[in-house]
Amino acid sequence: MKKASNTRRRELTDLTMRIVSGTASLIGIFFLVWILWTVGNNGIAAFNYDFFTALPTPPGIEGGGLANAIAGTLLITVLAAFIGVPLGLFTGVYLAEFGRNTRFGGMVRFTINITMGIPSIIVGLFVYTLLVLPFKHFSAYAGAAALAIIMLPVIARTTEDMLNLVPNSLRESALAIGMPRWRAIVSILFRSARSGLLTGILLAVARVSGETAPLLFTAMNSPYWMKGLAEPTANLTVTIFNYAMSPFDDWKTLAWGASLLIMATVLGVNLLARTLLREKTR
């Protein structure tokens, strides 16, 4: 009798958790679809030839586009990836392979954990003090440095976690046949954990793609084409902030279009990467 009661209680608990988790999932999916629909419905009206090829028009004049902001965002993100991805990967490799049980490795791991929780606006202020104030101007490389700092801990922690999931037998087998440590890491461990590593990199890129506060303090914005890295650079996130707060309806439409472009780009990159990875695995 007692055994039957315990069984019914476990079944009731299991059913309750299924209902709660299913309801939470449906709520999350509902809001996700709502956001996608709202951004898509409002932003698609801005998509035309001028949106991707023309410069912004002065306030009060309709037309124009965000070509300079699109190019600036792409450049800053690529520069940030060139800085943040290698540093993050090397840091993660050190934590997983060389500094796992060392005091310095523990300090690095603690610093990475703290850095992940720092608000992005603080990172922007730090880079502003380091790269903007001494040179007396905003710049694309300052914006890239701020985004790279945000990317680094995400990639480092993901790399460490993914490499820790690789069985030690693979490491031992590679070293047993005389393979150098660095080659075993690159050829064996990275291949085994490539799915997780790629996911971490994409998560980091997706996070910085929508950052506005760091770029307000570093790259700022510009209505013109960029002529060099050492000058204020137009970007989509700051443009969205400025245009969404403006009283002009056409600027608000362009802000919705820029939001849709960022969202579609992040989703597209993630889907493409996962599709290519799945095909390669097969």
pLDDT at 185: 87
- Pair 110, 127 in one domain: yes
- How many domains does one find in the chain? 2
pLDDT mean over 59-65: 84
- Pair 181, 156 in one domain: yes
Going by pLDDT thresholds of 50, 70 and 90, the confidence category of residue 181 is confident
- The pTM for the full model equals 0.87
- Pair 29, 73 in one domain: no
Going by pLDDT thresholds of 50, 70 and 90, the confidence category of residue 281 is low
Q: Facing residues of 64 across strands? A: 56
- Pair 118, 244 in one domain: yes
- Pair 157, 261 in one domain: yes
Label residues 32-48 b or e (16+ Cβ within 10 Å = b). eeeeeeebeebbeebee
Q: What are the tokens at 192?
A: 């085994």
Q: What are the tokens at 160?
A: 């460490």
- Pair 198, 82 in one domain: yes
- Pair 32, 67 in one domain: no
Q: 10, 27, 46: which is the final residue of a domain? A: 46
Going by pLDDT thresholds of 50, 70 and 90, the confidence category of residue 236 is very high
**Residue 42: domain span:** 2-46
- Pair 22, 59 in one domain: no
Q: Facing residues of 43 across strands? A: none
pLDDT at 4: 66
Whether the pLDDT of residue 276 is over 70: the answer is no
Q: How far apart are CA 208 and CA 147, in angstroms?
A: 6
- Pair 35, 137 in one domain: no
> pLDDT digits over 108-151, tens only?
999 998 988 899 999 999 999 999 999 988 999 999 999 999 99
> pLDDT digits over 82-110, tens only?
999 999 999 999 999 888 888 998 899 99
The CATH number for 247's domain is: 1.10.3720.10
Helix (H, G, I), strand (E, B) or coil at 64: strand
